[in-house]
Amino acid sequence: MITGQVETLESDLDALMERVPKLAKWRPLFEKRFNSLGETSEFSLKFFSQLPSYLVKKLYTLYQDDFKTAGYVYPVKYLAVAQK
């Protein structure tokens, strides 16, 4: 299994294309598209502000292993903007 992070998407894609050259033709589909929506963190805060806090906690629990693997911290800022 190969994993990557949004923050390092470009370099992760480069590494993947080196390992699996046949995927190169699909690279445009994997390009980072967050800039068209504004800053990634602003987009995330807007998204999480629409969710109830129990759901944000449930999402964290569901993806807790991914958070640990990627070195992400507990999503306090998302809980702060979530609906009570």
Residue 6 — very low, low, confident or very high, per pLDDT cuts 50/70/90? Answer: low
Mean pLDDT of 38-56: 84
Mean pLDDT of 68-74: 86
pLDDT surpassing 70 at residue 36: no
Mean pLDDT of 57-81: 90
39-60 core/surface letters (b: 16 or more CB in 10 A; e: else): eeeeeeeeebeebeeeebbeeb
| Residues 16, 23 contacting (CB under 8 angstroms) | yes
Q: Is-above-0.75 flag for pTM?
A: no
